[in-house]
Amino acid sequence: MKRKTILPLCSLLIAIGLFMAACQPVLPQPSTPEPTSSQQDPVLHYTDIPYGPHPLQTMDISIPEGPQDARYPVVLTLHGGEWMGGDKAALGRYTATVLASGCIHVNINYRLLNHGIPADAETPYEEMLDDIESAFDFLVQNAETYQVDTTKAGIAGYSSGGHLALLYAYTRTAGPIPISFVISEAGPTNFMDPKTFTEDGDPWLHESHNGHGDIEVWPSMTKEYRLSIIGAITGTEYGEPGWEEAWEKASPAYAVTATSPKTFLFYGSHDPVVPISHGELLARNHSDCGLYEILNATHSLYADPMELQNFHTVLSTILEAF
Ranked by mean pLDDT, the top range of 19-23, 28-32, 43-47, 298-302 is: 43-47
pLDDT at 272: 83
Q: Taking residues 115-125, what's their average pLDDT?
A: 92
pLDDT for 273 beyond 90: no
Q: Taking residues 32-54, what's their average pLDDT?
A: 77
Q: Taking residues 30-50, what's their average pLDDT?
A: 71
The rounded mean pLDDT for the chain is 85
pLDDT band at 204 (very low <50, low <70, confident <90, very high): very low
pLDDT for 318 beyond 70: yes
Q: pTM, whole model, 2 decimals?
A: 0.86
pLDDT for 217 beyond 80: no
pLDDT digits (tens, 9 = 90+) for 94-111: 999 999 999 999 999 999
pLDDT digits (tens, 9 = 90+) for 67-98: 999 999 999 999 999 999 999 999 999 999 99
pLDDT at 11: 45
* Nearest by Cα to 264 from 89, 15, 10: 15
Q: Are 2 and 19 in contact (CB under 8 A)?
A: no
Query: What region, left, alpha or beta, does residue 31 occupy, with left being phi > 0 and alpha being psi -120 to 50 degrees?
Result: beta
pLDDT digits (tens, 9 = 90+) for 231-257: 999 999 999 999 999 999 999 999 999
3-state SS, the chain, equals CCCCCCCCHHHHHHHHHHHHHCCCCCCCCCCCCCCECCCCCCCEEEEEEECCCCCCCEEEEEECCCCCCCCEEEEEEECCCCCCCCCHHHHHHHHHHHHHCCCEEEEECCCEECEEECCCCCCHHHHHHHHHHHHHHHHHHCHHHHCEEEEEEEEEEECHHHHHHHHHHHHCCCCCCCEEEEEEECCCCCCCCHHHHCCCCCHHHHCEECCCCCEECCHHHCHHHHHHHHHHHHCCCCCCCCHHHHHHHCCHHHHCCCCCCEEEEEEECCCCCCCCHHHHHHHHHCCCEEEEEECCCCCCCCCCHHHHHHHHHHHHHHHHCC
pLDDT at 192: 94
pLDDT band at 218 (very low <50, low <70, confident <90, very high): low
* Nearest by Cα to 295 from 266, 265, 264, 268: 268
**Least reliable range by pLDDT among 8-22, 77-91, 308-322:** 8-22
pLDDT at 303: 86
pLDDT band at 224 (very low <50, low <70, confident <90, very high): confident
pLDDT at 34: 62
pLDDT for 139 beyond 60: yes
Position 94, amino acid: Y
Contacts of 38 (CB under 8 A, 6+ apart): none
pLDDT for 6 beyond 50: no
pLDDT at 2: 38
Q: Are 64 and 45 in contact (CB under 8 A)?
A: no
**Domains of the chain, start order:** 9-22+41-320 (3.40.50.1820)
pLDDT at 282: 95
pLDDT band at 219 (very low <50, low <70, confident <90, very high): low
pLDDT band at 210 (very low <50, low <70, confident <90, very high): very low
